[in-house]
Structure 1
């Protein structure tokens, strides 16, 4: 995971450095007009871009090691908007739905792949939601200061850095053989499998890189990869140690689910292995969980004339004064 993080952070700072250098070069060559002369309100690169995308998501945690995380990828959808401050820098907001998952027992060509996690026999999936706010910095200036955004470069690379919050809902598939013998999905947070009821929300810090290609004056296509650092180790409901099953007899859990919680806290008996003693290592709480999203999106940039028309209408509406009528 550290290799991915270092790569993304390094790429981000390289992008910022290149942006500053390119901007200075354009000013030196006379390709960028002075903002003091024209005024910031005349910057035609300003405007709004809307986006919709889809991709894949995966995570790093106790049920997904570096070598097999990509194989456990799940779908992702996003909607967003981006405001361009100038030819290089934008602020963007996005809402996303993404699914992550992992399992100890993995199969390849119908055969069990043995690892040091196989006998633990834990698994999960989680349908999550995310809201983020970030800065996007393009490596190269898209236009000169006096040109509208529809004259932008045909291709550009950018860095992303921002913050947000994610809601996560880990669940697992299990057949209750002491009940109706029907397999179903159980929401793990309410079962407190490690004796802890953790928050459904976690703050996140994201960093990533992307590439954008121009399709038409108003439409771009982009591909980006971004990693999210979280403040929780329970994206997969696994973090600490096994607890004594007597805990579930008095825990704040629905009565009809207490035996389910006890069974899901240690799933070795399902595959014919003895239960582990209380205090046995179940997860690794020395590091937090994280996840990444690789996505493709379509972006629509509002034409400059239409954008300025909307701004003008808003200004007129704000400052319009009613003129009294005289007879």
Structure 2
């Protein structure tokens, strides 16, 4: 919440310090597109773009001064992936398995937009590229499938969360996180009130658990003894509980945080404006 307050204070300072005659207005619209996920189960390099994960949402944009906009977003979608990998089943042996996951994504965020320049008349029809930074709260809930049934993974403690040896996380990972956003887009005014746009932006999540998989080093017998057999199965599905050796240590993934991105299209309607007018200063109205 303190981050949102800082952004609102920044907007107020910008508004108060502006000496230009700008027409302020609100714009409401819809957005939707692709939500690529990049994590332990995505393909390497730019291969993560092959997983098509759709989303939809709404936005409310406010333009307080020339070249600056504030935007409130609501995003609702799902990320998912499936990948073949290998896990350790003994000290000297590995086995191939297929892992899968899906997770709902619910995000509410506040973004600041900074127009770079205008093509066309900024007081009439135009095209404007812009940069964006923002902050939000994201809720997620990873699940994985076994015999056609999906299970919530966080309560299963697949990576020994809560085991009191000092080698594991003391509690399950949070399912509501703060995310930081950066990106850019293109906005165009096509008519008296219609505005369309496209934007590409990334989310810095600060967590490696969007897919329930991290690079933490695990001991299978410790995981099995401190969680359910279902949790041990999703932790390492290549072994049977009664057949696993005591020294079966393994990592399920890499140590990098998970990310997700938005590739979205927007369609909005300007609701109205007040103040200013045609000042020829780069500020625009509809």
**Pairing 1:267–2:237 present:** yes
Moved over 4 A (4+): 141-144, 274-277
Partner of 1:288: 257
Partner of 1:58: 36
Q: d(CA) in 2 for partners of 1:215 and 1:156?
A: 12
Asked whether the 8 Å contact 2:204–2:259 carries over to 1, the reply is yes
Give the 5 Å matches for 1:154-303.
Answer: 154-175=126-147, 183-196=148-161, 197-239=172-214, 240-251=216-227, 258-269=228-239, 278-285=248-255, 287-303=256-272
Please report how far the alpha carbon of residue 173 of structure 1 lies from its aligned counterpart in structure 2 after TM superposition: 0.9
Q: d(CA) in 2 for partners of 1:50 and 1:243?
A: 52
The answer to which structure has the higher helix fraction is 1
Please report how far the alpha carbon of residue 211 of structure 1 lies from its aligned counterpart in structure 2 after TM superposition: 0.9
Q: d(CA) in 2 for partners of 1:246 and 1:51?
A: 51
Partner of 1:152: 124
Q: Does the C-alpha gap of structure 1 residues 294 and 66 become closer, same or farther in structure 2, counting only changes over 3 Å?
A: same
Please report how far the alpha carbon of residue 105 of structure 1 lies from its aligned counterpart in structure 2 after TM superposition: 2.8
Q: d(CA) in 2 for partners of 1:208 and 1:48?
A: 22
Report SS of the residue matched to 1:78. Answer: strand
For normalisation by structure 1, the TM-score amounts to 0.65
Please report how far the alpha carbon of residue 247 of structure 1 lies from its aligned counterpart in structure 2 after TM superposition: 3.4
Deviations 1:45-79 (A, max 9, x none): x1111121110111111111324211112111121
Deviations 1:241-278 (A, max 9, x none): 33324534444xxxxxx2211211112259xxx96853
Please report how far the alpha carbon of residue 283 of structure 1 lies from its aligned counterpart in structure 2 after TM superposition: 1.4
Please report how far the alpha carbon of residue 132 of structure 1 lies from its aligned counterpart in structure 2 after TM superposition: 0.9
Asked whether the 8 Å contact 1:268–1:275 carries over to 2, the reply is no
Q: d(CA) in 2 for partners of 1:302 and 1:141?
A: 22
Report SS of the residue matched to 1:172. Answer: strand
Using CA pairs below 8 Å that are at least 6 residues apart, which structure has the higher relative contact order? 2
The answer to which structure has the higher strand fraction is 2
Q: Does the C-alpha gap of structure 1 residues 153 and 137 become closer, same or farther in structure 2, counting only changes over 3 Å?
A: farther
Deviations 1:133-176 (A, max 9, x none): 111011125898xxxx7x3342111111011111110001112x
Deviations 1:78-136 (A, max 9, x none): 21111101231011110101211122239xxxxxxxxxx99242210111111111110
Task: Give the aligned length.
Answer: 235
2:83 is aligned, of 104, 107, 111, to: 104
**Pairing 1:81–2:60 present:** yes
Q: d(CA) in 2 for partners of 1:243 and 1:73?
A: 34
Q: d(CA) in 1 for partners of 2:137 and 2:219?
A: 30
Structure 2: unaligned runs, 5 residues or longer: 1-17, 86-93, 162-171, 276-286
Give the 5 Å matches for 1:2-21.
Answer: none
Asked whether the 8 Å contact 2:120–2:126 carries over to 1, the reply is no
Larger radius of gyration: 1
